[in-house]
C-alpha cells in the first residue's frame, strides 16, 4: 500500500546546455518533468512510499518517461494509450536581463483524455495521502472532471488530500483558474499556494498569515501553506501559525523547487512529524533542489537532514 499517490502529467523536458538559445543550439538535453511526479520523487527520497499515476502514450517517448520516473524508486502506475502524444516542453535558461523561457508543446497529449476508470482508484483509496495540482485540471475539460472525481474518491475513503495551486498563465487565465479551483476546494484537506498565486488567482490580499487564515476559514482546509520565495514559507494549522525562513542556496536550476518543498513536507507529515518540522524539511529540500539541474530533487534524506541541522545551528562533527 502506498503512503502517497500523486496524479498529473509528466512531460519530457528538452533544454539547451548552459544558457544557449533554442534557435541556435545543436544539443538538447532530455529529462522527464512533471509537478506531481516531482512531488512523488521528493517524498520517496525523504522516506515515503510513493506512487505516481497518469496516462502515457505507448511509444518510445512515453516509455522513456515511465522508465526515468521508476529509476527514482517510485511506482509509476501508468494507463497506456494508443491515442494521443507525449507532451514536451522546452526550457531556455537565461540570466539578467534575459529571463528563463518555457515553451510548451503539450496539446493533444494522451493525459488529457484520462478518466477516473483509467486510474488505480483502489490504490488511491488505500493510500494515506493523495496529491495533485492546479496544472492538471487546466489541461482539458476531461481532466477537470477527473481531478474532481479522484479528489472526492480519496476524501470519501478517508485519504488525506492535498492540492498545490501551481498556477500557469500559459494554460489558463486567473479567472478561469479561480472558478475551477474553488469548485475543487471542498474535497481538499491541505492547500499549498505561492503568495503571488493567492493574490493573482484567488483574489487574496494582505500578508501570508492573513491569506492562510482567510483561505482556511473560507474553505475549511485542515492546513494552508503559503510559500514566499526568498522569504520562506508560512503554514496555518489547527489555529496556529508556523513560519520557516528560506535556506540560503546557490541556484543552478530553480525549476521544480516548489514541488521539492511539497514532496518533503508531505513525506514528513506522513511520518508523523509536526507542521514546523515538515516545513523545515520542505525548505531544506527546496534549497537542495535549486543546486541540481533538471526538475527532480535528486537528494537523500541524510543530505536533507544535514541541511536542516545546519539551519538549526547544529554542529556537524
| Residue-by-residue pLDDT tens, the chain, 317 positions | 799 999 999 999 999 998 899 999 999 999 999 999 999 999 999 999 999 999 999 999 999 999 999 999 999 999 999 999 999 999 999 888 988 899 999 999 999 999 999 999 999 999 999 999 999 999 999 999 999 999 999 999 999 999 999 999 999 999 999 999 999 999 999 999 999 999 999 999 999 999 999 999 999 999 999 999 999 999 999 999 999 999 999 999 999 999 999 999 999 999 999 999 999 999 999 999 999 999 999 999 999 999 999 977 644 43
CATH code that applies to domain 4-312 = 3.40.1190.20
Q: How many CB atoms lie under 10 A from the CB of residue 139? A: 22
List helix spans (H) across 134-290. 135-138, 141-156, 174-184, 195-200, 208-219, 257-270, 275-289
The C-alpha cell 513525506 sits at 267
Domain ranges of the chain: 4-312
Catalytic residue among 49, 259, 309, 311: 259
In this structure, the dihedral spanned by the alpha carbons of residues 216, 222, 227 and 231, taken in order and rounded to 10 degrees, is 90
- CA-to-CA distance for 301 and 286, rounded, in angstroms? 13
| Model-wide pTM > 0.85 | yes
117 catalytic? Reply is no
Amino acid at each position: 500500500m502506498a503512503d502517497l499517490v500523486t496524479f498529473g502529467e509528466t512531460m519530457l523536458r528538452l533544454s539547451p546546455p548552459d544558457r544557449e538559445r533554442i534557435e541556435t543550439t545543436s544539443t538538447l538535453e532530455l529529462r522527464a518533468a512533471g509537478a506531481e511526479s516531482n512531488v512523488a520523487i521528493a517524498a520517496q527520497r525523504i522516506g515515503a512510499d510513493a506512487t505516481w499515476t497518469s496516462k502515457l502514450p505507448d511509444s518510445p517517448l512515453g516509455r522513456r518517461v515511465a522508465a526515468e520516473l521508476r529509476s527514482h524508486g517510485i511506482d509509476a502506475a501508468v494507463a497506456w494509450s494508443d491515442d494521443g502524444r507525449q507532451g514536451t516542453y522546452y526550457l531556455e535558461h537565461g540570466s539578467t536581463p534575459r529571463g528563463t523561457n518555457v515553451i510548451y508543446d503539450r496539446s493533444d497529449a494522451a493525459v488529457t483524455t484520462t478518466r477516473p476508470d483509467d486510474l488505480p482508484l483502489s490504490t488511491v483509496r488505500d493510500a494515506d495521502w493523495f496529491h495533485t495540482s492546479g496544472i492538471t485540471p487546466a489541461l482539458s475539460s476531461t481532466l477537470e472532471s477527473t481531478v474532481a472525481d479522484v479528489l472526492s474518491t480519496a476524501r470519501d475513503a478517508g485519504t488525506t488530500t492535498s492540492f498545490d495551486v501551481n498556477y500557469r498563465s500559459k494554460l489558463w487565465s486567473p479567472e478561469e483558474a479561480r472558478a475551477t479551483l474553488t469548485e475543487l476546494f471542498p474535497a481538499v484537506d491541505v492547500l499549498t499556494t505561492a503568495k503571488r498565486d493567492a493574490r493573482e488567482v484567488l483574489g487574496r490580499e494582505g500578508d501570508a498569515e492573513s491569506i492562510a487564515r482567510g483561505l482556511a476559514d473560507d474553505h475549511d482546509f485542515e492546513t494552508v501553506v503559503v510559500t514566499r520565495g526568498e522569504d520562506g514559507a508560512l503554514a496555518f494549522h489547527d489555529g496556529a501559525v508556523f513560519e520557516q525562513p528560506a535556506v540560503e542556496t546557490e541556484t543552478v536550476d530553480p525549476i521544480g523547487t516548489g514541488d521539492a518543498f511539497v514532496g518533503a513536507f508531505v513525506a514528513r507529515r506522513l511520518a508523523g512529524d509536526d507542521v514546523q518540522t515538515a516545513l523545515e524539511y520542505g525548505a531544506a529540500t527546496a534549497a537542495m533542489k535549486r543546486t541540481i539541474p533538471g526538475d527532480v530533487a535528486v537528494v537523500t534524506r541524510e543530505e536533507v537532514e544535514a541541511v536542516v541541522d545546519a539551519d538549526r545551528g547544529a554542529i556537524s562533527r
